[in-house]
Amino acid sequence: MRPRTLVLAGAVACVALAAGCSDSPSPAPDQPREPRSAAPTQAAPPTQPPTQATEPAPAPQSAPRVAPDDVRVATAQAAVRHLAGRIGPRPGTSPAYFRAAAWVHDELAGLGWQVRRQRFRAPAGVSWGVPVPGGRSTNVIATRGDVRPGRPWLLVGAHLDTVPQAPGAEDNASGVGALLAVAEAAAARRTRLPVVLVAFGAEEPRGPTDADHHYGSRAYVASLPARERRALRGMVSLDRVGVGGTLPVGSVEAGDPLRAEVLAAARRAGVPTQAEDGQRSSDHWSFVRAGLPGVRLGSTPYAGYHSADDTPGVVEREQLERTARTVVAWLR
């Protein structure tokens, strides 16, 4: 975009490579989980389709359906503190970025999701006025074992990287935090369709044009087989979702049917929203430009944007909760 930890009963088959389960008991509601330290794991080669996985163990049909009240906003808050307060600036090809990716991998796997990495390369360039080196980056992809090739599915994503000078609390630890809160809520509960979660790398600009960012989501879309493309029913990008009193829901075109769907989900969750047209500045654009349905949540302006002032204190608990509740209502 430019201008903790969950409980699963099942695993997913569309996008998984590595999985792990946590035997740790769940904390009491709204008590932050202690972040796990994660050791990096071997990334999947970029040519491996995101639908390859071990034998799935999806949540039983008797499992309750996920609901907005299942969201623990403390999980999102803990992620913001860890990513922006402890790791700090994390450009998409930097060592700090890989520490962040390893941590997110461990958080998702600890909740029982099947998790894999997808390598890709990002070019050198200038990111918000600061030179950045090119090199390898990675997407972190999680599923629950219920995705089937050619069958309808949903995707929720958030970029994990930052510009070089920013700790990236709002941009975009807020989005990753909300993603983790959604993952926690949905881990052992049913959703209307199978769900894939992605923390994207190298979203931030590396040059002045529209073609100079969104590298992780572009690599992900390019790796999707044709059947998965046709079966995707919607992608929601969580990008700068921790500031403001209403939740922006943005689409490229006015009247976008997916945007209307998400706005309706927000109403069911009791979340005030504002619709935005012409929204291309997040990872949903990589999907839309490939003919796939995508919208963005978030984008309220704030003073610390792309600066050293983008610290955890910027992010508001209530807006994180609005975002995660909206996404869960959409997945329900």
pLDDT digits (tens, 9 = 90+) for 318-332: 999 999 999 999 999
Q: Is 61 exposed, middle or buried (0-12, 13-18, 19+ CB in 10 A)?
A: exposed
Q: Is the pLDDT of residue 295 over 60?
A: yes
Torsion of Cα atoms, 54 then 203 then 71 then 104, to 10°: 50
CA-based nearest residue to 213, from 181, 172, 257, 255: 172
Please name the residues in contact with 326: beta carbons below 8 A apart, sequence gap of 6 or more: 68, 247, 262, 265, 266, 269, 271, 273, 297
Instruction: With a cut of 80, say whether residue 13 has pLDDT above it.
Output: no
Q: Is 114 a residue whose pLDDT tops 90?
A: yes
Output the pTM of the full model.
Answer: 0.83
pLDDT tens track for 18-77: 333 333 333 333 444 444 443 333 333 343 433 333 334 455 567 899 999 999 999 999
Residue 60's pLDDT is 54
Q: What is the pLDDT of residues 122-143, one digit of tens each?
A: 999 999 999 999 999 999 999 9
139: cis peptide before it, omega within 30°? no
Q: What is the pLDDT of residue 248?
A: 98
Burial 94-128 (b: 16+ CB within 10 A, else e): bebbbbbbbbbbbbbbbbbbbbbbbbbebeebebb
Rounded to 5 degrees, φ, ψ at 308 are: -65, -10
User: 70: which 2 tokens?
Assistant: 């299942």
User: pLDDT value at position 62?
Assistant: 79
The answer, yes or no, to whether residue 157 has pLDDT greater than 90, is yes
Query: What gap in Å lies between CA 115 and CA 330, rounded to an integer?
Result: 22
Is 10 in contact with 61 (CB distance < 8 Å)? Answer: no
Question: Does residue 210 surpass a pLDDT of 90?
Answer: no
Share of the chain above pLDDT 90, in %: 80
Percent of the chain with pLDDT over 70: 82
